[in-house]
Amino acid sequence: MRFFRPLLFAASLHVSLSLHAQVEEVPVPVFGESLFQGEFSRETFTGFNPNYQFTVGDQIRLQIWGAQEFNDTITVDTQGNLFIPGVGPLLVQGMRNMDLIPALKRKVAEKFINNVEVYATLEGAQPVKVFVGGSVSFPGLYAGSSADSVLFFLDKAGGIDTERGSFIDIALKRGGEVIQKINLYDFLLKGDLALTQFADGDVIFVGRRKSSITIQGAVHNSYQFEFDGQFLTGADAVEFAHPHTNATNVSIRTDKQGERASFYLPVIDALERKLSPGDHLYFVPDALPKTVEIHIDGEHDGPSRLVLPYPATLASAVEKLVPGARSDLESIQLFRKSIAGRQLEMLRESLDNLERKILTARSASAEEARIRTTEAELLLKFIGRARDVRPKGQVVLSFWKGNREVYLEDGDTLHIPSKSNLVLVHGEVLYPNAQLHEEKFDTQDFINRAGGFTANADKSSILLFRKDGSIDNSKSTRTAFRSTRKVQPGDEIVVLPKADVKSLQLAKDITQILYQIAIATRVAVDF
């Protein structure tokens, strides 16, 4: 034991370094790179911009009713006027959108004193052509309207080049002068986007990418983040990253002038730290839980949740249960989210492998190809149904009382079954039902009482589920054609379908998947 601890430490260090190396190798996306996916360029902006200034070519919908009636669209003429029928011209060039209706009312009142109402709205902004240059995917000249957003034109240009372009240094130029600076982080992080009014010949210029840090781990935003300046504070990084609530510590790796250093500290201590360009932050939940919260359902008269000191065992939880008159504590069932997730992962791996085999199978003749095509359609439909399956994540607790070290995880569910004298029979039987248990009956007898097997039943694939989660799929002891397993009250008999395909290998794979699904869900998916 004296020599074991250093060895264990060395092994742990090796694992830690290996994991660290793996983290480095995984490409980390740039924050905002999914912003431009062809969506902004599909729609022009038609909302109300109160500060929009009217210009030549704008189309205004004008409505007048009462003593004077008018309802039509009018274009601002080359002199910047809006000609009002029966009233005369109104100079609107340079006028803000919010000031239009009051100005129209004053103008109409010069001609009609009473009983005339006026309403107007911008229907179509002036068409413009805007240059988009700098670090974008496709620099060029793009058509739009003066009321469109900067995102519209950037999207037209294929978006910002994430390898060299900046999301925080975007300039709108007019006549060689910068009239507006745009930082898309304001939009991505806070939803703020200043409305812009474009003119013909304007230039949108995307600058070069600034300094950046990389953030990974227990965070909602795992990206490369850009910043301007020589350093970024830890508080800014936390705001960017939005760490998970269980993130307690952060590993900071820095590389200055070829000298690498690493720091590991609590998140709160990292807030005041100055981060340099190229730093890598990895947030981790590095605090042992103090409690375990589990959910209780089924035949139980106590509270639906229990909070136990960490580490908690199944035996310690059972001691706190309040069983009812029909509670069957001998058959208590444990369901775990991590197990359900692993079951789902393995099932999807099996389905992916099956799908690849189906799609890459070769045929020796035209007739075989026709058969394979028809068969492939059925198999792919089966795969589609199987992907919708959600495992329960049941932990088998056979003889759990003999092992008091069944440790619980946070979020576990304990199901207390009711004492039952019923046997459930379903799957590929004619009449799925629940039957009264009879001591002298075996599995075949219960299946017969459910109408017997369907034509699609695999008579060699009969699963007998015990209440504790264990499965008895042993073969018959009496005859090769009869399943004679001992059935207990509360058991569940599931008859699986047969895999009726030409390929023996595919049939084997499908049978395996059917078993996986049945064990994980107690459901026989129809093939």
For the chain, list residues with pLDDT below 50.
1-24, 475-482
pLDDT digits (tens, 9 = 90+) for 195-222: 788 888 999 999 999 999 999 999 999 9
User: Of 194, 323, 211, whose CA–CA distance to 277 is shortest?
Assistant: 211
180 falls within a domain: yes
104 falls within a domain: yes
Counted domains in the chain:
3
pLDDT digits (tens, 9 = 90+) for 44-70: 665 666 777 888 888 888 888 887 788
Q: Which domain holds residue 77?
A: 59-124
- If you ran DSSP here, which 8-state letter would residue 273 be given? P
Degrees (nearest 5) of the Cα angle 426, 338, 319? 85
507 close to 354: Cβ distance less than 8 angstroms:
no
Classify each residue of 315-351 as buried b or exposed e, where b means 16 or more C-beta atoms within 10 Å of its C-beta: ebbbeebebeeebbeebbbbbbeebbeebbeebeebb
| Final residue in a domain of this structure, among 256, 284, 312 | 284
Give the position of tokens 């070829």: 258
User: Of 157, 143, 40, 46, whose CA–CA distance to 170 is shortest?
Assistant: 157
174 falls within a domain: yes
Are 161 and 219 within one domain? no
CA 365/CA 468 separation, integer angstroms:
51
Are 151 and 119 within one domain? no
- How high is the pLDDT of residue 527? 62
* CB neighbour class for 432 (10 Å; exposed up to 12, middle 13-18, buried from 19): middle
Are 69 and 95 within one domain? yes
Q: Compute φ and ψ for 182, nearest 5 degrees.
A: -125, 130
73 falls within a domain: yes
- How high is the pLDDT of residue 7? 36
Cβ neighbour number for residue 441 with a 10 Å cutoff? 17
Are 190 and 217 within one domain? no
- How high is the pLDDT of residue 78? 86
144 falls within a domain: yes
CA 390/CA 60 separation, integer angstroms:
56
Amino acid at 400: W
Assessment of whether the complete model's pTM goes beyond 0.85: no
81 falls within a domain: yes
CA 227/CA 275 separation, integer angstroms:
11
CA 148/CA 194 separation, integer angstroms:
11
The CATH number for 75's domain is 3.30.1950.10
Strands 280-284 and 249-256: antiparallel
User: Of 285, 278, 251, 275, whose CA–CA distance to 28 is shortest?
Assistant: 278
Degrees (nearest 5) of the Cα angle 212, 217, 223? 30
CA 29, 30, 32, 36 dihedral sign is: negative
The CATH number for 141's domain is 3.10.560.10
450 close to 432: Cβ distance less than 8 angstroms:
yes
